[in-house]
Structure 1
Amino acid sequence: MTVRERGASQPDVRAEQRGQALAPYIEIRDVSKQFVNKKGTVFTGVTEIELTIEKGSFVSIVGPSGCGKSTLLTMISGLSGPTTGDVLIEGKSIRDVQNNMGFLFQKDVLFPWKTVLGNVESPLLFRGVDKSEANRRALEWIAKVGLKGFEHHYPHQLSGGMRKRVSMAQTFVYDPEVILMDEPFSALDVHTRNRMENELMEIWGGSGRTVVFVTHDLEEAIALSTHVVVFTKSPGRIKAVYEVDLPYPRNVAEIKFEPKFPEIYQMIWSDLREEVAGHGHE
């Protein structure tokens, strides 16, 4: 991880346990993104973004509303290209949507006419996986996210937390190398949110997947992440990158009682405070 990194620089225990060193994976090189509104006015979303994300890491991006956090995700995904600069994965420029990426957004994008099973197996069928194999893998992931017995329910028959579990299974079932998450749990009540965060930790831990996670909640960012990236006010720039020196595996509720947690929070909040002034605590 680069860009004025702060905080402790302890080795990543998860990587050592997997017997592999973390290596640069996603590279964002001097990226800026501009938009033109209906009046023809040019608006700069993010500017001069320089960031390297290591393979297997869990990186959260925090900052004020409208600072370009989600814009950066769309450029990593290939859904939208930078105006200037370059986004690379394993040294190759991203020019379009990548098959090795998964997406999880604030609102679920489930097919209302499909059952839980139908929704989870859909990404595999779209990729040409045999129906019986897609069915097997979908059932496996439905069980992993705690929805065994609900395979034939439709989205409207599920709670918000259950729908989010379906979305997680739908995202992870095709084994993407990169997971992009844009405030995926913000609409959930605090207890459901903690359960989902812990399930995410269990799925991600030791998997080798790389996660880029956008959130307005600094506590959530610290509880989940290997690194936290702080964005400035719009136009968004990277102000600092912090390593989160807390042990894994983590329980997101209990990790907050770690003696280092408030220290890390205060350190990051000192940078974030002036950026969210006027926006409220984010």
Structure 2
Amino acid sequence: MSGDVQLELWLHEYKMDALSSVLKEQGTTVEKRMQEMLTDLYVELVPYVVQQMIRASMGAEYAAAQAEKEAARKYTAFCARENGERSFFQLDRTEDILEVAKFLRRYLREEQGSGIAALQTSAFARMEPVTAERYDQLLALRMETPNKVTGVFDLDFDKQKVATVDAVDGWKTWSMQDVSAAVYHAYRKNYLRPEQYMSRLLERLEGRELTSAGHLSARDISFADEITEIDSLLDFTLKPTSMWTRCSARTSAPARTMIP
């Protein structure tokens, strides 16, 4: 990407001091005044059509640089539930369940009061508040392009649960106590590679998943009967873990939902 070119000018220091003193009284500096004069010279001498072409080229380069910068950015999203209220945050870097687990262990062991306050002063302190709509966008991106959004977490400090979503397996929910205990056991062996600690954490959490309303994954749902077509509608019965839901849908989008 192109950039500015530095010009070097020479003026005796006595003359420079005198000029600076006069311009200071006028509320400006030699550098600012010279910049203005150089800009005026450019506008006066360079044909307008050339100026337009240069402006377009600079705009295109800037847009390309911004697109490249955005493509390289990674995101992590948090939903924190406390006192019946939900708060949403975005962190512009990669985080995973291992780091969240370490935070939860410190939080539970230190018996801190507000979970959200603890979250905002933890290793995730640089996260910024976002809207529910932005959180949903990041959640969708997590499912579509997991390399872009590397983690989406739901921390329920009221019910002491933590959930994370994977593009393949969907949502997984555990109790915060189980996650705290799992990360403790993961780090009982020293000098391992980061991926080994992650593996030990997940092994410890295997079989301890909780069914959480709003966080059902594909493994929690099965079809009770065959799918049939009635009047251009697909008729099928979904069988979640804890409820029966009757749904009729067109091939492109749900048409109606009935819960007996």
TM-score above 0.5, yes or no:
no
Instruction: Tell me which protein shows more helix as a share of its residues.
Output: 2
**TM-score for both structures, normalised by structure 2:** 0.22
